[in-house]
Every structure is written in structure tokens, then in C-alpha cells.
Chains A and B, each alone.
Chain A
Amino acid sequence: MSPVVQPAARPAPVVGCAERPVLRERGQREVFCGLTGIVWLHRKIQDAFFLVVGSRTCAHLIQSAAGVMIFAEPRFATAVMEERDLAGLADANEELDRIVARLVERRPDIKMLFLVGSCPSEVIKLDLSRAAARLSQRHAPGLRILNYSGSGIETTFTQGEDKCLASLVPELPAVTAEPQLLVVGALADVVEDQFARLFATMGIDDVRFLPPRQSRDLPPVGPGTRYLLAQPFLGDTARALDERGAVHLPAPFPLGAEGTTKWLKAAADAFGVDPMRFRSATAAAEARAQQALAAYRDRLEGRRIFFFPDSQLEIPLARMLSRELGMRLTEIGTPYLHRTHLAEELALLPEDVVLSEGQDVDRQLDRARAERPDITVCGLGLANPLEAEGLTTKWSIELLFTPIQGYEQAGDLAALFARPFDRQTRLRV
């Protein structure tokens, strides 16, 4: 283990890397495809079912990702294409109709069905949007059927959620110009409730969330809608909301005490909340978050961290870890860098960080090995092999499956990064 570097021993990093060059790489990408989003989306929207139209590989992927969950009846499945579907011997539309009918019979409680496109269905150009429209008519009004792509050729990991939410946007009821706040991105239920309380305390009462917990509770949208992105990977969803007249509120993402305050402030300013009222609504919670973070600062300050690309959460996380916990950033990899949505984040990053977009995994591994960071954030395919090489890792998927946003979770988020170090000092074998 490398010694903790005292902050005094190095110059304070110059803040702001909005103009910095980004290392763009092509090569093998060690990332998930967008189908993986189903693993958390099916729990968030409780009356929705996700039917992947794909191959055995797609079915195998989702079950490998979700396989530890023992449930009798998952709310997702795969329509596996077979030889006769490809040879044109079976009419794909008739086959889909048959499968959807069987599903509906088995799960009469589902109210919304997503037909999820995959690499094979896209390469053979199966028109799932038309199929969704046709099936929606047949199963109306009890069941709404939508379509989006979760294929690897189109989407990386969390972009599956983006495509799913973007497909929901045209379904949202219209609302006229009344001002209304929309929070976009799947959040843990507890985090959603905390945000709703904070907004209510500062006087913003009409706050809705996308996705909703039940498909019948779709939030309305219109020219009066102001939306905050709770997640950084929602490019398409934002564009679709813009088309409905909603207006994006630029902000850093609500990770850590600072990020959460800035994020809430963006909404407060847009809704004309008095600064005093904003402070009184947030001050106590912010102080609590800072106190929780302080407990981890000793353990994390000065530690060097390296991010492999995975979810697009890398840049906001790196910002939070460097500014609020004093960690030193080496390379931050992201699968995709949305410059507009991340503008506020990039401005807060120190100058000396390497940003990379895309991946050539072997070359990136060479860089990580040369750097020997104190902790490496990476996917499950790399984590154990890097641990075996003596590098401490934090597996990145957990950051999607844990409540990390908002004040009350700031300490938990820090704990996720402190735990691998804690474990190292405990184990004597």
C-alpha cells in the first residue's frame, strides 16, 4: 500500500478542465450493453415488463447480470430468435404477437410492456417500433407497449436507461405553461423521497419524477416544465423533453454535499426561491453531509484514483471525490462524454487530470499498471484480475445499485470507496 500523501505536500490543483483535450480511443471496449439497464429499471417501474427481442446471448447476459436474485417471476424475458426467424420462414410479427399474448396471459398485472431491441434485431432491421404500435392497439387500453434499443452497437450500459426514458417522453401527458419541476433519471426510492421533501421545504411543491414508480403515474410535460437531470447519461431523454418544450436546468449532479447543493440551487434559482429560504431548507442537511464525509476524508485524502469507463458517472464521481474528499485523480475514463450536460462538472475538475472517452482496454490497462493508482474503479470483468495483480479496485456497477445521490447518502458514497482500503487493513491472510 502506498503512503497517504499529505495535501500540504502538493500544490493545490488548478480548477477547471472544460477546455482540456480528451484522449479518444478506439479498440476493445470492456463495457456492458444497454440491455443491462433492465436489471434496475424493472424494479423501478413496478408494473412494467421488459421483453428483449434478441438472441440467446442477450438472454444469457441479463440472467448473468441478474442471476443472483432469486425470484419466482422476473419482470423481464427474452424472445430468442431462431434459425427460422432469420431464414424468413416465420413471420417475425406473428411470432411477436404470439409471444406477447402468452406473456399477457401469464402476467395479467403488467400495464406497460417494453419491446427492447438488441444487436441481432437491429442488424436484421426488425421494426420493433411498428410492432409496438400494432400491439398497443390490440392490447389497449389495459396494456401500453413501447419500444427502445438496448443493443450494444447503439448503447453502453446506462444508455439503456436513457433510451427507455426517451421512449416514455412522447407518452407523457401534455400540460400547459404552469411551472413544474421534473427530476429525470431512476433514483432509489429513498433518495427520491428526500429530494421531494427538500423541494417542498423550499416551496417548490409540484415536483415529479421520471421514471415514475407506476406506469399510470406518468408525469405531465409542457413549456412550463423545468427539468433537472439526476443522472449524467440522459442525452436522448433530454432532447426528447426539449422537443416537448421543457427546459433543462444546467447543474452539476447531486453527488456529495457540494454537488447536491449546486443541483438543488439550480432548481431554486429557476423557481425564484428566496436565497434565505433555500439556505434554511438545505443548511442542516448539507452540514450533516459534510460531517459524514469528514469521517472518510482521513482515509481517502491524497489517494490516487483511476476510472475505467463504464456508466458516465465517472466525471461527477471524480469531481466529488477530488473536491470533497481530497482524492487525487489520474485518468477518468468515460464511455461517452456529453459536453453540455457535463459542462458544470468539467469546470470543477482539477487541471491535471487525464480525460479519456471510449476505450482500448489493453492499452488502458497498460496505463493503469504504469500509474499503479491506489484504487481503480472498473467493471467486474477487470476487478478480480487487477486485484490479483495487487491493485485495489472498486467495482463500478455497485455505484448504480446503491443509493448514492443527495445529502444523506454522501457518507455512504464515500464509504463505497473507503471500504476496499478498510478491507485491506483488516485481512491478515
Chain B
Amino acid sequence: MQLTVWTYEGPPHVGAMRIATAMEGVHYVLHAPQGDTYADLLFTMIERRDKRPPVTYTTFEARDLGSDTAALFQTTLREAYERFRPEAMLVGASCTAELIQDDPGGLAKAAGLPVPVIALELPSYQRKENWGAAETFYQLVRTLAAPPASADGSTAPERPARRRPLCNILGPTALGFRHRDDLAEIRTLLASLGVDVGVVAPLGASPADLARLGEADFNVVLYPEIAGVAARWLKRSFGQAFTTVVPIGVGATQEFIAEVRQLAGIDAETSLPETRLPWFSRSVDSSYLTGKRVFVFGDATHAIAAARMVTEEFGFTLVGLGTYSREFAREVRVVGEAHGLTALITDDYLEVEEAIAALQPELVLGTQMERHIAKRLGIGCAVISAPVHVQDYPARHSPQMGFEGANVLWDTFVHPLVMGLEEHLLGMFRDDFEFNDAARPSHLGAGERVEAVAPAAAQAEAATLEAAGWGEDAEAELRKIPFFVRGKARRNTERFAAERGLSRITVETLYDAKAHFGR
């Protein structure tokens, strides 16, 4: 068993629901106990969809367990087909139904419905939401995508010569973090490159659309967590190459453009949309951002993109990087190593919390859960990845991808930090009654940055300082350092003292350590 305070991903059948809900003409019959319909409100409330998800649940109860739950499944399946008349159906089990082993796939086959029925095997006790979405999308594509007319299946088929190249966009789903606006942004970008878009899937696609996937020249993969498996299958089966760069950030977007041009065989440069990020980052107002210590956590795609952006486009220092996407652990580790870091691969919220507390960053870029952690530790935070709550499905256009996405991210990452002048003044005047360490940055409104420290906690902190050898004077001097770098200063000083075998930390030790480490 794993103690879970917050979970980064839902169970795999929620991933399957995200695919079914994203598409048109697909219905999902889910063998699940009463209560699992809670998942509907992820779509109707958090994403604010105006339709019920195309999911019918068997909602069995304890009294059904004594009788025939398999018959209940079959009745539900038939009735769902009759009522909704979908073009294709998905059938599967939730975690509890997996335990009672009714075999929805076999039962569905026996029902003999006149549409394709895809049985999903989603191991709930091993896998999670994104895996479930990827597997469901892959199974749908495998079943429904027809090869291009000329294909013989063995070699990359010849595609008809067109005036403009044609691509599919793969990956956007229901309940995806900013998928709606990313898609709009990338459509605009591809249009400006002179590339036509064939099928967008799963978001908005019908089974008939999936059948046309093979017609495109190549695939654009926006979210590898969702569409990676399907894209690889399309490459093997239909010879369609796919993009490997996710266009989040200015640099990544430029590489993405180069990749698309290469895949599409376009030589001519066309005029592109503009981005303000490079100028904003070079303007002198941003010089105080240099070297700010940032911790990044999220799904692999967004964490890798943010790691590159904060270092290359914001001039921050990356002090921690991690992901809950185990399927992409290797890729994240490689990025971590490039920054001299060991990436944190975990889905345990408490481990992430420990890592952030130990590293004492000045900014946390993470998920909804890292907001909890950052709030508790009094650190500025911005959300870069799912899981997210309702406020991160905004009404306004808010892409993460492309050049407008870079503009959005510039504002998002800088906003929670204390602004330049205020930061200077905090360093100079410590005892202001309004603008002090415990207060929130004043551009974020009045109030406390952290909850008032309870006397017991303050005593405990003083005790740990004393235990670490801090003399009273040194401790007082430490408190004069602004809060956002104080944790780091404390760690450096203690390390400096330990390395030299000093049992007592004085004011001198503090400044010796500062001179030694340079900050």
C-alpha cells in the first residue's frame, strides 16, 4: 500500500474517459460500482463542459455481487447502444470491477453489436490516468485507422502529391491542461508555415475521422504522454514520421518549426507570429531574475519544457526537477543530468514536499499539489502542468505552446515573485511594519505570506538552529537575510561549518561561508 495525501493522476479508466469525452460518436460502457460517476463532474464542473460525458456506468451495488454482475454489464451495454447509437464503443472495467473479473471484452463480443467494440485492458493497480489515455487512444487508432489507399502494409506508402503538405495533430484530450488553446495556437502556427491540418485527434475527432489518419504526410505530436504510443504505431504501420519537439517555449517552438519544415519538405521561410518573451527577458527590469532558484515538477512534457525555459529564456537557476510520469523517467533524468541534478521521479506527494523543503527554492513551478506545498512553505508558485483545478481552465486564450504560449508563460512565471524594487527595499529595511518578511509581496495584495508561526514551532526552529551550532549573534544575523534566500544561506553556512569541523557558528562563519560559496 502507498500512503497518498494527494494523487497526481487518477486511475487509468479516467484516462479512457478523457479520450471518449474528447471524441464524437464514441461511447464508453464502464463496469464500475455505484459512486464512480464522480468522474463525470471532472468534465462538467472542472472543465465546464455542457454535455454529459459519453460514459454509461453499470454502477453495481453490494446486492448485485451476489447475483449476476456479468448480466448487468450486458444489459447496460445493449441499452447504451440503443440509446446513444455510437459509431464505435469502448468497454472496460474500473478498479473494483477488475477484481470481480467479469471480462467486459468477452461479454461485449458476445453481444454482437453492429459497430466496432474496443475492449480496454487497463490494469488499475499498476497504471494510471495518462497511461490509460495513451492505451485507449492507441487501441482506437489501431482498430479504426485505415492505411492510405496505396499502402501494401510492408513499406512506407506513396502519398498523392499535393500543393501543400498535410499533417494530423495528435494528443489533445478532454481535461487536458490548456489543450484547447494549445491546439488553436499550433493550428495558426502550422497555417503560417503553409501546412494543412487533416485530422485532430482525439479532441473533436469521430471514428470516421480516425479512419482518415493515414492520409496525412506526417503527424504532429503535442502531448507524448497521450499520443506517443499511437504515433509510433502510425509510423510503423503507415510510415508517417512524427514531431519529437514539444513547442513550449521560444527555443522549443523554433526547433519545432524547423522539424515541421523538414518533415513537410518546406524550404521557404515564411513570416511567423511574433513573441515578446526575448525582449521582456532582456529588458533591464528583468535583470533581478538572474539566478533565481527554481524547482520544477509536473508531467514529463511540461517539466522538461519548463526546465529549458527557466534556464535559457528566463535566466533562472534550476535547482530541482522532477516528474510523476514514470513512463518518461528516462527523458527527464537526461534533462536533470544536463543541469547537474538528479531528477526526482515519484508520484509520492510527500517526497516532493520533502525535496522542496530541503532545496528552499525561490519559485516553484508545478501542479495544483505543489501549490499546497509552496503555500505551506511561503514560496511563490505557478502552475505548469496537470493536475489542475477549475481556475486553470480559464475563459481567456491561455496557451502554453507556440509564441503566444511563451508570452503567457512569461507573465505566469514572473508574477508570483517579489518585484524588483520591493526586493531591494526588503533587503535594506528589515523592520517595516507593513512590508516585511512575513508579508506577501505587496503586488499580490495585503496579507501574511505564511501563517503566523506558532510559538511552539518558533521554539522548535530555534532549537534546531542551536543544535546545528548557531550562536545567538549568528542566528540574529541570519534573520537579516531576506526570506527567499535565507534557507539557502542557512544550508550553505551549516555545510561550510561541517566541512571545517566548526562546532560553533558565529557571524564570522556566516560571512566566511558567503564569501566561499559566492552567494
- Interfacial residues, chain A to chain B (CB-CB below 8 A): 27-36, 53, 55-57, 59-61, 63-65, 67-68, 70-74, 77-83, 85-86, 90, 92, 95-96, 98-99, 102-103, 119-120, 122-124, 151-154, 156, 362, 379-385, 387-388
Indicate if the CB atoms of A30 and B99 lie closer than 8 Å: no
Q: Lowest 9 CB-CB distances: which A-B pairs, in order?
A: A33-B35, A152-B35, A381-B40, A72-B376, A388-B50, A119-B96, A55-B95, A60-B10, A152-B34
Indicate if the CB atoms of A79 and B3 lie closer than 8 Å: yes
12 new A-B contacts, CB < 8 A, other than A28-B57, A57-B94, A64-B41, are A27-B59, A33-B35, A55-B96, A61-B36, A72-B375, A82-B125, A83-B126, A96-B1, A119-B95, A123-B65, A362-B56, A380-B44
Q: Known interface pairs A68-B389, A70-B372. Does A153 touch B37 (Cβ–Cβ under 8 Å)? A: no
B48: chain A residues at CB < 8 Å are 384
Q: Complex Cα distance A232/B58, Å?
A: 27
Indicate if the CB atoms of A67 and B59 lie closer than 8 Å: no
Q: Complex Cα distance A36/B36, Å?
A: 11
Q: Known interface pairs A32-B35, A33-B35. Does A123 touch B2 (Cβ–Cβ under 8 Å)? A: no
Number of A-B contacts (CB under 8 A): 186
A362: chain B residues at CB < 8 Å are 56, 79, 83
Indicate if the CB atoms of A31 and B37 lie closer than 8 Å: yes
A53: chain B residues at CB < 8 Å are 1
Q: Complex Cα distance A60/B389, Å?
A: 13
Indicate if the CB atoms of B125 and A83 lie closer than 8 Å: yes
Indicate if the CB atoms of A68 and B390 lie closer than 8 Å: yes
Q: Complex Cα distance A63/B368, Å?
A: 11
Indicate if the CB atoms of A59 and B4 lie closer than 8 Å: yes
B11 interface residue per 8 A CB criterion: yes
Q: In the complex, which of the residues A68, A90, A103, A383 contacts B44, with contact meaning CB atoms closer than 8 Å?
A: A383
Indicate if the CB atoms of A153 and B99 lie closer than 8 Å: no
B45 interface residue per 8 A CB criterion: yes
B42: chain A residues at CB < 8 Å are 64
- Interfacial residues, chain B to chain A (CB-CB below 8 A): 1-7, 9-11, 13-14, 33-42, 44-46, 48-52, 56-62, 64-65, 76, 79, 83, 94-96, 99-100, 123-126, 128, 368, 371-373, 375-376, 389-390
Q: Complex Cα distance A374/B390, Å?
A: 28
B34: chain A residues at CB < 8 Å are 29, 31, 33, 152-153, 156
Q: Complex Cα distance A95/B50, Å?
A: 43
Indicate if the CB atoms of B1 and A81 lie closer than 8 Å: yes
B7: chain A residues at CB < 8 Å are 56, 59-60, 63, 78, 80
Indicate if the CB atoms of B14 and A28 lie closer than 8 Å: no
Chain A residue nearest to B450 in the complex (CB): A72
Interchain nearest-CB distance for B194 vs A (Å): 38
A385: chain B residues at CB < 8 Å are 44, 49-52
A32: chain B residues at CB < 8 Å are 35, 37-38
Indicate if the CB atoms of A65 and B57 lie closer than 8 Å: no
B83: chain A residues at CB < 8 Å are 362
Indicate if the CB atoms of B4 and A384 lie closer than 8 Å: no
Indicate if the CB atoms of B62 and A153 lie closer than 8 Å: yes
Q: Complex Cα distance A65/B10, Å?
A: 13
Indicate if the CB atoms of B38 and A61 lie closer than 8 Å: yes
A79: chain B residues at CB < 8 Å are 1-4
Q: List 30 A-B contacts (CB under 8 A).
A: A27-B59, A28-B59, A32-B35, A55-B11, A55-B96, A56-B4, A56-B128, A57-B10, A57-B14, A57-B94, A59-B6, A61-B35, A61-B36, A64-B39, A73-B376, A79-B4, A80-B1, A90-B1, A98-B1, A120-B95, A123-B96, A123-B99, A124-B99, A153-B62, A156-B35, A381-B37, A381-B41, A383-B44, A385-B44, A385-B50
Indicate if the CB atoms of A28 and B56 lie closer than 8 Å: yes
Q: In the complex, which of the residues A63, A85, A154, A382 contacts B6, with contact meaning CB atoms closer than 8 Å?
A: A63
Q: Known interface pairs A384-B48, A385-B52. Does A56 touch B372 (Cβ–Cβ under 8 Å)? A: no
Interchain nearest-CB distance for A105 vs B (Å): 11
Q: Complex Cα distance A102/B350, Å?
A: 11
A152: chain B residues at CB < 8 Å are 33-36, 59, 61, 96
Q: In the complex, which of the residues A55, A64, A383 contacts B125, with contact meaning CB atoms closer than 8 Å?
A: A55
B36: chain A residues at CB < 8 Å are 33, 57, 61, 152
Q: Complex Cα distance A52/B59, Å?
A: 20
Chain A residue nearest to B3 in the complex (CB): A99
Q: Known interface pairs A32-B35, A57-B10, A60-B11. Does A123 touch B58 (Cβ–Cβ under 8 Å)? A: no
